[in-house]
Chain A
Amino acid sequence: MIEFNRDGILGEQASLPPSRIKIFGVGGVGIHCIDKMIIEGLNQMPLVSFDTRAQSLESSIAGEKVLLGKRILRGIGAGGDPESGKSAATDDEGVILSLMKDTDIVFLVGALGGGTATGGLPVFAKTARVAGIKTVSIVTLPYDFEGKRRMDDARRALDLLEEVSDCVLVLDHSRLSDLIDEIGGLRNSFESMTDLHVRAILALWRMLSFKNLAKIDFETIGKCFEQDAQTLFGYGEVRDRNVKDALGHVFSSVLMGNNILLRQADSVLMSITAGKEMTMQDVQHILDDVKLRLNPQTKIQVSASIHEDFDDRLNISVFAITPHGRPEIKPLSVVKDSAEIEMNLFQQPAKTVKEKTGSTSMASAFPNGLVESEITIKPAATVKPKKKRLEKQELIEFQKQKGRFDKTEPTMVNGVDLDIPTFMRKKIAIGAE
């Protein structure tokens, strides 16, 4: 009976080829993240640690370990020099490529600002691109107090990475540093950062992994992240499949400390993971709750996955992608039609679920227990959204074109800035130009 049940849910999915994902931890922080995943009992994932320092690799508990640039650096480390990191990775490109074999997606995990990851990650991403493997880079930026040089190095590396990686997700350390005191100590701060790093990786991994009731494909994730946007991340994990508690953690934590930011989100990626008792009703229940917190226009992408290990545990992870500079926030009372939710179900492919939400009372008072962080996801060069970019460009053009009203308070009527010449807004062609 149980066997049959399991086949009923999982059997169909097993017939579909799952995305083969490997997670590469590069540099000190990368290894640390990999170790943490293993400690948390996630060793069923193919994890690989890379570093230029033999000592740190030795202490790592990862199953697969690669010492980069053995020939050049002899295992002494990159010494914070991105160039050394780069040459080390380039030197071992063959090893990297062989480890990427039979993989669809590679997650690249590391902290920018040092040597190995800063110099190495772009090489990894480039190697993957050449091999036709998609990459998701999940990186952190250095703390402000780590100095300008590190930040400059990190920025440069990030620019490079954006060019070659399909999806770049940046965890911004700077906001976390504000919370150091609250959390209690620098070590804890680093720990929480690593924890968030791992949670974000896991959330993305689950979205792309195969035992899903509802799945989001890589292209969809790429599309969500392709704007030059600010991305917020939060997660909640509870026992007893207690939906309310889990959502409480998600929305009180991380990003959603601020409801206003959340309401500005353009699209939301959700990953729901639970034991095999999870039903579509549970998913629906969670979605109903989430919809109430979002702007009706927000596009929600849901991935619901089942894990036998989860038993009665429930994990909800949310990425909210907020475009920069959105001017208006709709008041709560406007919410009438529900958010549109797209769910690609295996049973009913590409089904769009539209629903009416009821009253919009919002329980916003959740305990603030978790760490707050901000993630910036920048688009990779290849998936640059041309249309969005153009609009932004046009907007800048318009702002320049306000002439003598440049510095006055804008005349906003129905969301339109009337100071911008009408003929430009209505796109009436002027021949004399």
Chain B
Amino acid sequence: MRNKSKIIVGLEVGTSKVTAIVGEIKPDNSIQILGFGRSKSVGIRKGEINDFDMTSECIYQALNEAELKANVTINELYLACTGGHIKSFSHRGDAMISGEESEVCLYDLDEVEESAKEAAIPAEDTLIHAVLQHYYVDGKEGIRNPVGQLGTKLEADYLLIHGRELRIKNAIKCVKSTGVEVYDVVFSPVAAAQTILKQDDKRHGAIMIDIGAGTTEYVVYANDAIKHAGVIAVGGEHITNDISIGLKPTSAASERLKIEHGSLLVEDMDSQELINLRGELAYEEWTVSKADLTAIMRARVEEIFELVHQDIESKGLMPYLRHGVYLTGGSSMIVGIAELAEEVFELPVNVLQGPQTNTQVPLDLNPEYSVVVGLLKYAHKVEEEKAERMPHQTLERISRRVMDFIYAMKSLIF
């Protein structure tokens, strides 16, 4: 279909790091990653930009590095966005089938999508995505591709993802301030799911939970369709903060405690072990109890899982998740997190972990890059769909206009 390769760029502005990735879509439809760049985030809290100038600087660094490695000039990119303000819900749109002899045509698909997007969202919000779930022709369920089917009424469920317009615009503005255009905004977990969940998982039902530094995002897939997506503005930084409040070491020491000694295992709750904080400034002979550390961390992570579980359960999706839970993101590296997730969700849990920084490992498998790689996959899909539908659509629209005109003339004459 395509005989020219195309460069796509993805950018994730996370609470702990900014990651940019450059990929090339080959003529054979495969994606090759040309390079990536990353920088440590400054000025971002809970997935949202707090300090505009500092963040802008971080984005610039990451993009610059990616440009150098990939040897391309970045002009526009796909931006992953997140934040506690983003919400999603399902809405059903409908349209009367207008094609020749009641046959569903591409034009009807557009109509039904427009109708679904008309759902009411708060005035200060903007629609980020309308992701197709399923079509219904005359009430018949679960149709993936209705084009060509006969019927009178076409309906479709869409997952509408919306968030505060100004905050999203703020993120876009921050990227633009580095001289790069934002082509599209993608909700981070929707992007990440493209890499983490395989086709099989999407069919049989699975949850992907990405516990980042500032936010925890999750997506539910079942029957080949996205069922739900959400975000809680709580992440690894909260765990660190809890530790520094509960055990009173410095913030940096808390982070080290979390990474080196952190555990969520039940047996560690009764551990007699004392962790020595020697070496930390001002903590010459300071020990903390591993049991306390575990209790603090467990309480927080358990709460995160419970909130996600409650939300998914309230949507009635728990029975459809045969492929269980996929955990990713920095905080999913904590010892015992799979056991805890299993306890809460009562489902099999897979933790997707790769080495921290190892370019030898295929990027697909490194959870650090799941969002940005997912962005490329998402972008690729969008471009593909666009290419597929555009020519048909325009032709059909024109022919429809002509037909409408003829009908109008007819009615005038008779």
A interface, CB within 8 angstroms of B: 401-405, 408-409, 411, 413, 418-419, 421-424, 426, 428, 430-433
Contact of B238 among A405, A424, A428, A430 (CB under 8 A): A405
Q: Which single residue of chain B is at the shortest CB-CB distance from A405?
A: B241
Q: What are 21 contact pairs spanning A and B, CB under 8 A?
A: A403-B251, A405-B238, A405-B241, A411-B84, A411-B234, A413-B232, A418-B233, A419-B234, A419-B238, A421-B241, A421-B299, A421-B300, A422-B242, A422-B299, A422-B300, A423-B295, A424-B245, A430-B292, A430-B295, A431-B292, A432-B246
Main secondary structure, interface of A, reads: loop
Inside 8 A of B232's CB, which chain A residues have their CB? 411, 413, 418
- Extra contacts, 20 of them, besides A401-B245, A405-B45, A422-B296 (Cβ < 8 A), are A403-B244, A404-B251, A405-B238, A405-B241, A408-B50, A409-B46, A411-B46, A411-B233, A418-B234, A421-B245, A421-B296, A423-B242, A423-B295, A428-B295, A430-B295, A430-B296, A432-B246, A432-B247, A433-B246, A433-B248
Which of these, A413, A421, A432, A433, contacts B242 with CB under 8 Å? A421
Contact: A430 with B246, CB < 8 Å? yes
| A432 / chain B contacts, CB cutoff of 8 Å | 246-247, 288-289, 292
Q: Is the CB of A404 within 8 A of B295?
A: no
Whether the Cβ atoms of A431 and B244 lie closer than 8 Å is no
Contact bitstring B268-308, A, C-beta under 8 A = 1, else 0: 00000000000000000000110110011001101100010
B interface with A by C-beta (< 8 Å): 45-46, 50, 84, 232-234, 237-238, 241-242, 244-248, 251, 288-289, 291-292, 295-296, 299-300, 302-303, 307
Q: Are A421 and B246 in contact (CB under 8 A)?
A: yes
Residues of A within 8 A of B237 (CB): 404
The answer to whether A423 touches B300 (Cβ under 8 A) is yes
Query: Chain B nearest CB: distance from A428 CB in Å?
Result: 5
In the bound assembly, the distance between CA atoms of A27 and B121 in angstroms comes to 60
Determine the residue in chain B with the shortest Cβ distance to A418.
B234
Interfacial chain A residues near B292, Cβ < 8 Å: 430-432
Q: Which residues of B contact A430 (CB under 8 A)?
A: 246-247, 292, 295-296
Q: Which residues of B contact A426 (CB under 8 A)?
A: 299
Given that A418-B234, A431-B292 are contacting pairs, would A413 and B307 also be in contact in the complex, using a CB cutoff of 8 Å?
yes
- In the complex, chain B residues whose CB is within 8 Å of the CB of A401: 245
Question: Are B289 and A431 in contact, with the CB atoms below 8 A?
Answer: yes
Find chain A residues with CB under 8 A from B251 CB: 403-404
B295 touches A408 (CB 8 A): no
Residue of A nearest to B244 (CB): A403
Q: With A430-B295, A431-B292, A432-B289 in contact, do A422 and B303 touch (Cβ < 8 Å)?
A: yes
A411 to B307, CA, bound (A): 13
